[in-house]
């Protein structure tokens, strides 16, 4: 294991722990803390009406894998959903719907409202923006669902949350106390700290998102979907990607476009590492790994934590490593991680703020590589 000792310190291999810290204890404690924080922080979207209970567990496992792969990915998903929910609350309340809360908006964006219509052979999910569009034009009635009823639908595991908070706080306290006492810490413990920080930010963003909701609210639309599309100037009934209501707020988000593209490539290569593939058209659920547009303050919020995560590995710059090669590899990886976070943030900023939506899609040349229907 690596330590903060000077280069004269002798490197040791696997160490048993009968009376103190050993390799096994450090590895198990770090892995347990990372997995526990990731598992309890994720909030999957609703499965389709035709899905079984296992589908929602699979969706939660998928999001957990994304968080383990890169906690900044999970944070950006949560930040986008919170930003969308806040926009929805403002829009509904400006229109006179004072009872519309963040919980309602999150529920809508996670597939908690599905639409039935005479020309739909199966119900389709409507997000918060689409629901507002339909309510504003009186195609559907405002859902008579209170926040208390949403909370009743939500099945948050309070015991697991308290266990996670306690474990994370204990780990952070132990990590801080060791350098104060002149004791060493390892690179794995430093990595765990960086994960904990991002997962706490993710949990904050999803604080108002209902958890473990299985059945959606069904809304009946008396107007045909064809008429709704025709009134908006969309006359081709098959000209959509996910659902016939795609024309409502169709502008893409660069991270979402890139993510969908690379996940699609993984499916083509028969490596479905994350997310269940969409097989129905129109789609019957809203993907949980959907990156939504973010507002400036939310982008800055995420940037602070992503910068902290990316720079945390630089803290081991002067750690003692068994070999010079290992030390150089760690330093190169740390610099790359920091540069990736900084350059990626600037790239997304320029793309999102300055390029018009249509040009964003053209820049990715999705028409040539085959943008998946996800």
pLDDT score, position 274: 62
Strands 124-125 and 113-116: antiparallel
Angle 115-116-120 from CA coordinates, rounded to 5°: 110
b/e for 291-300, b at 16 or more Cβ within 10 A?
A: bbbbeeebbe
Helix segments in 8-115, DSSP class H: 23-41, 53-69, 71-94, 102-109
Question: Among 73, 35, 42, which residue's Cα sits nearest to residue 167?
Answer: 35
Predicted confidence (pLDDT) per residue in 44-61, tens digit: 899 888 888 788 888 888
- Report the alpha-carbon distance of residue 187 to residue 194 in Å, rounded: 11
pLDDT score, position 6: 47
**Domains of the chain by residue range:** 23-95+154-212+252-369
pLDDT score, position 369: 42
251: exposed, middle or buried (C-beta count within 10 Å: 0-12, 13-18, 19+)?
A: exposed
pLDDT score, position 317: 85
Question: Among 98, 51, 100, which residue's Cα sits nearest to residue 279?
Answer: 51
Q: Which of the 8 DSSP states describes residue 219?
A: E
Residue ranges, the chain, pLDDT below 70? 1-20, 156-157, 250-255, 266-267, 269-275, 347-349, 351-374
- Report the alpha-carbon distance of residue 321 to residue 49 in Å, rounded: 53
The pair of structure tokens assigned to 222 is: 């008396």
pLDDT score, position 214: 85
First CA to last CA distance, the chain: 43
The pair of structure tokens assigned to 209 is: 């998102």
Q: Output the CA torsion sign for 122, 142, 110, 267.
A: positive
Q: Let me know: does 267 contact 371? Beta carbons within 8 Å.
A: no
> 154 phi and psi, to 5 degrees?
-70, 140
Instruction: Report the predicted TM-score, pTM, of the whole model to 2 decimal places.
Output: 0.82
Neighbours of 258 (CB within 10 A): 14
The number of residues making up the chain comes to 374
The pair of structure tokens assigned to 19 is: 């009376």
- Report the alpha-carbon distance of residue 43 to residue 203 in Å, rounded: 9
Neighbours of 166 (CB within 10 A): 10
Predicted confidence (pLDDT) per residue in 235-270, tens digit: 777 777 788 888 887 566 666 777 777 777 766 766
DSSP SS3 for 233: coil
């Amino acid at each position: 294991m690596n330590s903060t000792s000077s280069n004269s310190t002798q490197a040791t291999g696997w160490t048993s722990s009968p009376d103190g810290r050993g390799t096994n204890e450090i590895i198990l404690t770090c892995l347990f803390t990372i997995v526990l924080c990731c598992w309890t922080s994720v909030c999957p979207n609703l499965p389709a009406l035709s899905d079984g209970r296992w589908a929602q567990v699979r969706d939660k496992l998928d999001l957990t894998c994304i968080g383990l792969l890169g906690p900044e990915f999970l944070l950006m998903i949560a930040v986008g959903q919170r930003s969308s929910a806040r926009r929805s609350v403002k829009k509904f309340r400006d229109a006179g719907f004072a009872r519309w809360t963040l919980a309602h908006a999150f529920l809508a964006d996670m597939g908690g409202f599905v639409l039935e219509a005479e020309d739909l052979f199966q119900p389709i999910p409507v997000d918060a923006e689409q629901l507002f569009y339909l309510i504003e034009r009186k195609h559907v009635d405002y859902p008579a669902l209170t926040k208390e009823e949403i909370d009743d639908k939500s099945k948050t595991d309070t015991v697991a949350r308290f266990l996670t908070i306690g474990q994370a706080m204990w780990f952070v306290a132990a990590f801080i106390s060791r350098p104060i006492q002149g004791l060493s810490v390892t690179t794995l413990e430093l990595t765990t700290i960086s994960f904990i920080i991002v997962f706490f930010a993710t949990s904050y963003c999803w604080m108002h998102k209902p958890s473990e909701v299985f059945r959606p609210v069904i809304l009946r639309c008396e107007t045909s979907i064809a008429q709704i599309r025709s009134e908006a100037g969309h006359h081709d009934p098959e000209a959509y990607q996910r659902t016939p209501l795609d024309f409502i707020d169709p502008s893409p988000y660069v991270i979402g476009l890139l993510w969908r593209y690379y996940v699609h490539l993984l499916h083509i290569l028969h490596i479905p590492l994350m997310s269940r593939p969409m097989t129905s058209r129109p789609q019957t659920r809203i993907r949980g790994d959907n990156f939504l547009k973010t507002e400036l303050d939310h982008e800055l919020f995420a940037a602070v934590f992503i910068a902290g995560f990316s720079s945390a590995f630089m803290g081991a710059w002067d750690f003692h490593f068994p070999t010079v090669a290992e030390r150089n590899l760690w330093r190169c990886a740390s610099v790359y991680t920091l540069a990736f976070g900084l350059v990626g943030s600037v790239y997304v900023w320029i793309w999102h703020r300055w390029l018009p939506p249509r040009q964003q899609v053209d820049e990715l040349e999705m028409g040539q590589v085959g943008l998946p229907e996800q």
